[in-house]
Structure 1
Amino acid sequence: MSKYLLDKFLFTVDRDPGLVERYREDPAGTVAWWEETQANRILNCVGAESSTWLAFEEEERAALAAHDYVKLFELGAHPFLTLTLFIGMFERDHGPLEFQREYARRLAHFSLPYPDIAT
């Protein structure tokens, strides 16, 4: 499992409004496209520089494709990255702070110490 790759996906998608919409409308397709074309690109480097070994495990891929932020948190994805991305995707479908409250309610069964979020 790569917490780095989960966080990289959440970070890069959240910073591109077009990708946010693409991920909202076609999560499995967006995850597959991103893994194939973006996962091995090195952040903040020229496009020619990349690695070759990064890939999601099936559990990670399934959680991303299902928009399952609880599972992503269990897998070690950073909660700030999941919250900001999912607010951008779903807050419009809810009243003021309703999505944030639902996020907190769905994660309420976790107690300290939280899953390790270090990459």
Structure 2
Amino acid sequence: MSKYLLNKFLFTVDRDPELVERYREDPRELVTWWESTVANSLLNCHSGEASTWLEFTPAERDALIERDHVRLFEMGAHPFLTLTLFIAVFERDNTEPLEYQKAYGAALSGFSLPYPDIAT
């Protein structure tokens, strides 16, 4: 399991409106594409350098495809990264102010200290 790779996915997708839309429309396609093209590029590095070994575990891939922020949190994904990306993906579907944020918090309310380790 790579918390770094999970967080890198959440971070990079959230910062690109086109990727957010692709994740909203077809999460399986976006996760598969991202893992094969972006996962091994170095974050914030524009020199063409890349690694060759990073890939999601099946559980990580499934949680990203299912957009399951509770499972991602259990795996160590940073809650602020899941929250900001999933606000971009889901908030427009809600009719009440802060409806998605409240549902997000309620879904995580069963966790107590110590929380899963989110350090990468």
- TMscore range, shorter length: over 0.9
Instruction: Please give the TM-score of this superposition, normalised by the length of structure 1.
Output: 0.98
Distance 1:88 1:28 in 2: 17
Distance 1:63 1:41 in 2: 22
Distance 1:106 1:47 in 2: 41
RMSD after superposition: 0.7
For residue 87 of structure 1, give the secondary structure of its aligned residue in structure 2: helix
Instruction: Please give the TM-score of this superposition, normalised by the length of structure 2.
Output: 0.97
Question: How many equivalent pairs are there?
Answer: 119
State whether residues 63 and 72 of structure 1, in contact with CA within 8 Å, keep that contact through their aligned partners in structure 2.
yes
1:104 matched to 2:79: no
1:65 corresponding residue in structure 2: 65
What runs of 5+ residues in structure 2 fail to find an aligned partner? Answer: none
1:86 corresponding residue in structure 2: 86
Deviation at 1:10, TM superposition (A): 0.1
Bigger shift: 25-34 or 47-56?
Answer: 47-56
Partner amino acid for 1:93?
D
Distance 1:102 1:34 in 2: 27
Identity over aligned residues, as a percent? 69
Question: Which portions of structure 1, spanning 4 or more consecutive aligned residues, are displaced by more than 3 angstroms?
Answer: none
State whether residues 41 and 47 of structure 1, in contact with CA within 8 Å, keep that contact through their aligned partners in structure 2.
no
Distance 1:39 1:80 in 2: 20
